[in-house]
Amino acid sequence: MSQATYNAKSITVLEGLEAVRRRPGMYIGGVDKTGLHHLLWEIVDNSVDEVMNGHASRIVVTLHADGKTISVADNGRGIPVDAHPKTGTSALEVIFTTLHAGGKFDNDAYKVAGGLHGVGASVVNALSKALTVEVKRDGYTHTQRYRRGKPQGPVERGEPVRGSGTIVTFTADPEIFQDLSYDPALIAERLEVKTYLNKGLVIAFVDQKNKTSVEFRHDGGVADFLDAVNASRSDQRVAQMPFVLEREDEEGSVRCHVALAWTEATDEDVRSFVNTIPTRDGGTHELGLYSAVSTAVSRFMETHDLLKKGVEIKREDIREGLTGVIAVCVHEPQFQGQTKGRLNNPEVKAQVESMVRPALENFLLKNKSVGDAIAARVIQSAKAREASRAAATQVRRKTPISGRLNLPGKLADCDSGNPEDSELFIVEGDSAGGSAKQGRDRDFQAILPLKGKVLNAEQAGKAKVLDNKELTDITSAIGCGMDDQYDASRIRYGKIILLTDADSDGHHIATLLLTFFYRHVPGLLADGRVYLACPPLYKVTWGQETSWASDDAARDRILARLPKNAKPTITRFKGLGEMPAKLLYETTLDPARRRLLRVVIPQDDRPYTERTMSDLMGKEPEARFKFIMEEAYTAKDIDI
């Protein structure tokens, strides 16, 4: 048997920006919507770096009428256009065509910056079908155009002009990205955050496609940001006065802006940033903040003898209900990966802690009423945690039989006594529930059929939710309780899988269930325990081959792969109930062959999720009417 030869000829050397186009995920995280928007964030961050270093005050982001082209303009110094001493070509061309080239490596050019790796502009250029840079500098305009990372000519000097600045216009490459449509709401949200983190900065967002424009400016900084976070959550504060700190360490290597408040919520919500870059995975600056908060609150409670006998205070008790914003500026930040999701500088933890802890202690001592309210909130959290643990000890599921008297009658439980190995399928309809019960693997798969569409928890009050039998059956089966009674240690199944028909009614039922979980059992979503099953809508048979399609697009892709003279048999399932039990197991229940979609809500997407949930499921119809009017043209075949 012949073997492929592995020698020096097998080693591929990628020149210039070719590596970026070959492996874009290494630089922007992927080629989905997140990766597409990351191109914009890279260019915006370059303009914000000019702002942070005192050279710019205004940024204009324009989404052009085609919905695929973006421009970012600032009134900064303008990218240098003179010849680079090493390459002999324009510094502008070096920046946009060479990885790890830029002014962020020179501390004289930028004291602090979000773009540290010198790859942002060149990566955007490499992944753009077309990109144009216009620079106002030294009294003239200078322009250079690129296609897929390659310059289409030298930098051209234009007419005399006043002022300075840079305009970058680019269109992402359809050969790289799956979808080139930007999300205006997400862009506006991200841009507004930049103005919270840079006092005095003005950012205008012009959406030519939807003919709207908005301008952001927040002179209150992180204090205004904290107000916006709490307003979006609708959680009541335990004390109205927030803690706000704006300070630079003694050595001048870290600048720290912090705003904190405690609410009645049972979770914590802290937004963190480094050099205005959102760090969704946290890092050493967050660790320093959490350590400072825990120590300061504990010392305040000890000083004023507020600790109760028999109540043990833990760090999670102090952080429960905490909302906050921490934004640090670091001269030499070390990020984890090009997408900069986590800060790794070990020294920043101690620097942040040394600034925040004494300031927070002093704040609590000077504002004792605020400190007392926070202390009472902490004690309440500790008592609730102890009570929850005691209750869990009494009712923890030892075997699949224990606690059965409290389970809904329609539940077909599984035999496994290990929650992490067990799955609960919430199935649409008794008929489908019957097929699922027959087809499942009863060792670890439980089935709970639902009757019709469940209550819309976004429009119903808590009392009405508690009176709804379908929803209470779900929480009883899962075992974890809801709202303030939620206890993750009592969960009876590691996976909660929503199994509904692959049509519009099924999607609606799944949405109603997700709304209930989001509002009343958010811990299931936070822990990544909720999944959507993907049952087939079509069966395509040709000769001895059988393929399954979950929607029309998947069916069309299957048909496109068949020979032109093929005459396939296409079966459309009206619902799960008409699928034989064996077929349902093979396509949807079998862990080896099924496809599940995990439902997750990233921390930085929470305001967007909150707004979407309120608009689409809330009581006010205006938002839905607006959505339908704007998106109706995208609907082709409506399943009614």
Q: How far is 73 from 61, CA to CA, in rounded Å?
A: 6
513 in Cβ contact with 428 (< 8 Å): no
Q: How far is 22 from 18, CA to CA, in rounded Å?
A: 6
Instruction: Indicate the helix (H) or strand (E) that contains 261.
Output: strand 254-262
In sign, the C-alpha dihedral spanning 298, 303, 306, 310 is positive
From the list 138, 281, 372, 503, the catalytic residue is 503
Q: How far is 32 from 179, CA to CA, in rounded Å?
A: 7
- DSSP letter for 587, please: I
Q: How far is 186 from 406, CA to CA, in rounded Å?
A: 44
363 in Cβ contact with 264 (< 8 Å): no
Question: Beta partners for 214?
Answer: 205
From the list 246, 372, 505, 604, the catalytic residue is 505
Q: How far is 514 from 456, CA to CA, in rounded Å?
A: 10
Structure tokens at 352: 């942040």
Please give the C-alpha separations between residue 35 and each of 96, 133, 287, in angstroms, as whole numbers: 19, 21, 28
284 in Cβ contact with 345 (< 8 Å): yes
Residue 312 designated active-site: no
Residue 249 designated active-site: no
Find the largest Cα–Cα distance for the chain.
85
Amino acid at position 40, single letter: L
Structure tokens at 506: 């099924």
Q: By CB neighbour count within 10 A (0-12 exposed, 13-18 middle, 19+ buried), where does 122 fall?
A: buried
Residue 501 designated active-site: yes
344 in Cβ contact with 283 (< 8 Å): yes
Neighbours of 523 (CB within 10 A): 18
From the list 207, 413, 428, 473, the catalytic residue is 428
Structure tokens at 56: 């710019």
Structure tokens at 9: 């000829």
Structure tokens at 574: 């009206």
Residue 487 designated active-site: no
Q: What amino acid positions are annotated as catalytic residues? A: 428, 501, 503, 505
